[in-house]
Amino acid sequence: MKGWVYLLLTIVFETAAIVLMKLSDGVSHKGYMTAAGICYAATFFLLTMALKYLPMGYTNAVWAGASTFFVYLIGAFYFKEKTTLLEFFFVLCILTGIIGLNFLSKGK
């Protein structure tokens, strides 16, 4: 259970870091860049802790896929970034892969 908590927090902090980098507008807003750096430091610490309890390949796939999914949604809905139905389909494929990995890992 500890591994899952660390993994969930890893996803939250990486997603926050990417949103903060977007808000920094390049490097125009140093406060956002600083906060993004702190979030990334937390991300790598939390990921390291998650790897203590969870398999490496699985952890990396869930971390990368979930943060990609959340960043995509925030970009589309909060930042009003243009997206297509085909892009949305492929992002859903990432989510489907994460769900599939979770079902497969239940048997281990």
Domain assignments of the chain as residue spans, ordered by start: 2-106
pLDDT tens-digit readout, 34-66 = 999 999 999 999 999 999 999 998 899 999 999
pLDDT tens-digit readout, 79-101 = 999 999 999 999 999 999 988 88
List C-alpha distances in Å: 69 to 5, 8, 29, 74: 18, 13, 25, 9
pTM of the model: 0.89
